[in-house]
Amino acid sequence: MGCMIEYERWLSSPLMDEQNKRELQSIKGDNAEIEARFNSMLEFGTAGLRGILGAGLSRMNIFTVRQATQGLASLICSQGKEAMKRGVAIAYDSRHMSKEFASESARVLAAAGIRSFVFDELRPTPELSFTVRELKCIAGINVTASHNPKEYNGYKVYWEDGAQLSPDHADIVLKEIRDNDIFNDIHTMPLDKAEKEGFITYIGKEIDEKFIANVLAQSIYGDEVKKVGDSFKIIYTPFHGAGYRIVPEVLHRLGFNNLICVPEQMVIDGDFPTVVSPNPEDKDGFKIAIEMAKKEDVDLIIGTDPDSDRTGIIVRDSAGEYISLTGNQVGVLLTDYIISARIEKGMMPKDAAVITSIVSTHMTAEICRRNNVAIYEVLTGFKFIGEKMKEFEDTGSNTFIFAFEESYGYLAGTYARDKDAVIASMLIAEMAVFYKQRGMTLYDAICALYKKYGYFAERTVSIKITGNDAQIRMKNLMANLRENSPRSVADVDVIAARDYLKGERVNLKTGEKTSTNLPSSNVLYYELADKNIIVVRPSGTEPKVKLYLLIKGADADDAKNILDKYENAFRGLLK
């Protein structure tokens, strides 16, 4: 049994540290657990690595991190000595083992003759993206599992443009990982030697200042904020993560002098003790903040996830209840605000462009259409947004003003190439001031947008796939949908089907095929006769298939009925 052989090899390796050895000894005789840990390697893709912390091939530990970094080092060395000199920026979040994984990555790079610029403490993911560009590094590493539960950690790799690795580069790293033995082919330099010989440079507040300056430069309504900043209250929580220092600093500098931070959640702690999961999409994580808001009479709560790239907000509705807004709702609010405020301030470029993903709300397109702003849809993943931004710069075709994904990720400005909860927090806060001066809350604002543009609604359904063969079952499910494309859903005709893996759109009435004009990706996209949309894609980080429903109804009740109808019907097709 291959799993057992690999397990024994790990257990007897002279490189195995005591902690991992004790963990492996504790599962001796548990064949199911051994198989789960050693039946396959962690998958490395454009999103890097992500997995449960622990010993084993399919877990996040110093050995899997070293192996991934050896693969990255090979890619960098293949680019020549100049690339090696440019080096790699390394950041990490508040999760368990994040700092250690960052250090191990730097040691592997040093052994390969590659410099590292390592942050002196945890930093937001977007600051890592900014740093790669600012220091002109060849690559970047960020140790984080974003908003996953405390049992997880991850490893993201960025290239010289500040965006996550392209599929071609990710494939090169993956090949190197598979070709290198996890013990015998991985080389490290002692930390003190790497520091002494100049392979590791520690960076800190000097980069913070440059990053903050770039964020503040994107403010549109800053002058108005300063007029009301002493009285306008906001509650902020970093969920025990990397936003704890930078986000409040940016808000204070903009003029928000009445910022209230949730003290329990300002504590850096990889156990995330005050929440079940540190996910700003989950309203339950805001319980403490909501209680504070009731006492302080606050209309707006902002929360950022552990690596500070996603932003969630809680607002007070017309009945005085605190409710969460979806990523799509915040995205359309920011889109409309940025366009409206730029026009008001005379800051709107003639060739302005907004970028969203194919699974994000179509309300954005309507907002852009009515304001003569170009809109571009890309595949899911901010690396594709980054690629489109680079295309704008290279061709001069458009001026980028905003991008977002439905998964609570937002960016304005070209200083970074990843979603940024720091700038999102700033823009959300000043947007609240924009509406406050018009006698409106953000809840009032989203209601007004529905009246103006139509009642668009969205729902993301996650269908978990269980068992050790989850990846195979996900693959088979997608293959079955491709072979048996639905002709109708809930008695509504499917008029066209896009298969982004093949890169083609098929008109199901005429059979005509056209290109999707986007990179290959395992996504199926169905256009219905009522102009509503259903999208199916497997998760890149977890064993589940995601179903995206993008619809437009007459009002909230009608939208819910349409969403329920399509969810129930399509769930039947996925069995």
Residues annotated as catalytic (active site), given as ranges: 146
Cβ proximity of 273 and 266 under 8 Å: no
Q: Please choose, from the candidates 130, 308, 109, 125, the residue with its C-alpha nearest in 3D space to the C-alpha of residue 201.
A: 109
Tokens matching residue 509: 């009435």
CA nearest neighbour of 156 among 540, 544, 474 = 540
Spatial separation of the C-alpha atoms in residues 79 and 77, rounded to whole Å: 5
Distance of alpha carbon 351 from alpha carbon 540, whole angstroms = 34
Q: Which amino acid is at 294?
A: K
Helix/strand/coil for 440? coil
Q: Where does residue 556 fall: left (phi above 0), alpha (psi -120 to 50 degrees), or beta otherwise?
A: alpha
Q: How far is CA 506 from CA 477, 510, 511, 524, in A?
A: 20, 8, 6, 11
What residues are paired with 366 via a beta bridge? none
Residues paired with residue 159 on neighbouring β-strands, in sequence order: 139
What distance in Å separates the CA atoms of residue 99 and residue 121, rounded to the nearest whole number? 8
- DSSP E strand stretches across 428-543: 455-464, 488-489, 492-499, 504-507, 513-515, 524-528, 533-538
Amino acid at 30: D
H or E element in which residue 70 lies? helix 62-77
